[in-house]
Structure 1
Amino acid sequence: MSKVIEKAVEQLAAKLPNGFSSTAKFVITGEGAIICDPDGVRAGDDAADVTLTSDVDTFRGMLEGTVNPTMAFMTGKLKIDGAMGLAMQLGSALS
């Protein structure tokens, strides 16, 4: 597992201490994937209800609060596949 994924798992777990009500996957291009579900946050590439894909800088910015997830989506820096409502819930949790 890459250092980027390890750190991202830690940061997401802090933002989602009770996990996520559904199954979401964050794909960080060139690094790997993270799963958020009712069991918590972990590195993994399982099937998910929604998948959010971005590069490292965009993902880091969303976690740090310097990149707005909605704006990242609207400008093409964040791609969403699956349930848009779940993606919006995640965006709120990251803000």
Structure 2
Amino acid sequence: MWRVFSYLLRRNVFVARVIPDALAPTHSQGEEHMALQDIAERMQRGLDKRPLAETIKFDCGDDGAITLDAGQAVIEDRPAQCTIHISEPNLQKLIGGKLNPMTAFVMGKIKVTGDMKLAMKLGQLLG
């Protein structure tokens, strides 16, 4: 897994870089909280430009899950080929570019289960 995230980081391929205009701050500078719905909408903008055929889930535990399925970002806990386990606050930081994916992985803030090759497909969402 370390090699996968190292590769993603070297190639600037990860969720924190999902289409730059899709990640432009939509909240005021002082407002840091981003609801799961806001995160899903940002991911959807990336999927609209570069659809993903496979299913990837961001599992935020009790806070909910975002599943990227058939070109749609939905707030549902659906079965997925690849699941990225991350807390909602850490997902907010990751999407906002405030959490380094490599550091998060090493510290155990991100865990990936299922098909690791699909985590690489996140590059399709990246600009």
Question: Which stretch of the first structure deviates more once superposed, 59-68 or 85-94?
Answer: 85-94
TM-score by length of 1: 0.80
Say yes or no: does 1:8 pair with 2:31: no
- Does the alignment pair 1:82 with 2:114? yes
Letter in 2 for 1:58: N
2:89 aligns to what SS in structure 1? Answer: helix
* Aligned partner of 1:48 among 55, 65, 80: 80
In the alignment, what sits opposite 2:89? 57
What's the % identity of the aligned pairs? Answer: 30
Q: Distance in 2 between the 1:4 and 1:24 partners?
A: 19
Taking the aligned partners of 2:126 and 2:98, their CA distance within structure 1 comes to 11
TM-score (norm. length: structure 2): 0.62
Runs (5+) with no aligned partner, structure 2: 1-33
1:26–1:5 Cα change, 3 Å: same
Over the residues paired in the alignment, what is the CA RMSD in angstroms? 2.3
State the number of aligned residues.
93
Contact 1:50 1:84 in 2 (8 A): yes
1:28 aligns with 2:60: yes
SS at match of 2:112: strand
Distance 2:88 2:126 in 1: 15
In 1: Cα distance, 2:36 partner to 2:88 partner: 10
Structure 1 stretches of 4+ with a deviation exceeding 4 A read: none
2:80 is paired with a residue whose SS is coil
Return the index of the structure with the highest Cα Rg.
Answer: 2
1:45-90 Cα deviation digits (max 9, x unpaired): 1110001111122101111122222331122100111111211332
Structure 1 portions without partners, runs of 5+ = none
Say which SS state the counterpart of residue 67 (structure 2) adopts. Answer: strand
